[in-house]
Amino acid sequence: MKVLANDGVSQTGIDALEAAGYEVITTKVAQEQLQNFINQNNINVLLVRSATTVRKDLIDNCPCLKVIGRGGVGMDNIDVEYARSKGLKVINTPAASSHSVAELVFSHFFGLARFLHNSNRDMPLEGDSKFKNLKKAYAKGTELRGKTLGVLGFGRIGQATAKVALGLGMKVVAYDPFMEKADLELEFFDGQKVKFEIETISKEDVLKQSDFITLHVPAQKDYVIDTKDFEQMKDGVIIANAARGGVVNEIALVKAIESGKVARAALDVFEKEPQPEIQLLMNPALSLTPHTGAATNEAQDRIGTELADQIIAILGKV
């Protein structure tokens, strides 16, 4: 059995698969060459992340494929239902990277609340000549403790993000059209546990109440946050999108920043990846990362191990 990890896989995943008798290939194959490579090398399992797409033509023209795996949560780069209708197993790792994304969101929130994204640019350039000016410019930070975090999309990642907020002493309000409530358990280093029950409320109420807003929703046809949604928010709100490009109207976001409705915002994903709009890249009110929400060593280890376990459970040991 051969596995092509086209967007890479952790060594822990490779080790687990090889121990079960699988041959793991980590060659990065260009999208237009993928079909030929799969057929010529008799690939049985194709593992992808977000860079590689698996559409109907690839599924139809690669009869040797048995399993398609996505290292992560969203599977919008795979024609999932079509693949399953053709008898292929499609798997992903919905829980493996949840905490990693949550930590990235709060990395941005802490940085934005204290202007670190700007200060880290300015200090190397002007720290020796304009120290007092910079100190004054960045002296009006805000604390997260006691503030309200609004979570749009309360699945695994939304809940993981809420747990971090609760640990910081924030109030959490959440919206999810498919969920009425969620039971969250915070586990601490000494084994103590604290349980919270969060009942979801309307999207409008979340927007009106929140000092910080984070999105954890799948890709969809329409914007989740558009002009009318910004209008309902508190003045000076801070927003993070580490979900999918296209769930926030980026043009409307820039306008909301210019008007003062949004104080600052964080983007880990973009409508036009891998070439985000220049007005986003140059905007001093934005804290930006290149789609690295799940990019921690720990998350990649969990993803690799979870994919390997699922593959072995489906196809058995070789």
One domain, residues 266 and 171: yes
One domain, residues 167 and 207: yes
Residues 6 or more apart whose Cβ sits within 8 Å of residue 117: 111, 264, 286, 287
One domain, residues 147 and 274: yes
One domain, residues 67 and 204: no
Q: Which residues are catalytic?
A: 244, 273, 291
For residue 95, the model assigns a pLDDT of 87
318: pLDDT confidence band, cut at 50, 70 and 90?
confident
50: pLDDT confidence band, cut at 50, 70 and 90?
confident
Domain extent for 215: 98-288
Render pLDDT for 83-127 as a digit per residue (tens, 0 to 9): 999 999 999 998 899 999 999 999 999 999 999 999 999 999 999
For residue 5, the model assigns a pLDDT of 98
Question: Stretch 135-154: mean pLDDT, rounded?
Answer: 97
One domain, residues 213 and 274: yes
Task: Characterize the bridge pairing of strands 23-25 and 45-48.
Answer: unpaired
One domain, residues 113 and 162: yes
One domain, residues 158 and 278: yes
One domain, residues 244 and 102: yes
One domain, residues 245 and 148: yes
One domain, residues 117 and 238: yes
If one counts the domains in the chain, the total is 2
Task: Return mean pLDDT, the chain.
Answer: 97
- For position 68, which CATH number holds? 3.40.50.720
One domain, residues 129 and 53: no
One domain, residues 92 and 108: no
Residue 115 burial class via C-beta count within 10 angstroms: exposed 0-12, middle 13-18, buried 19 and up: buried
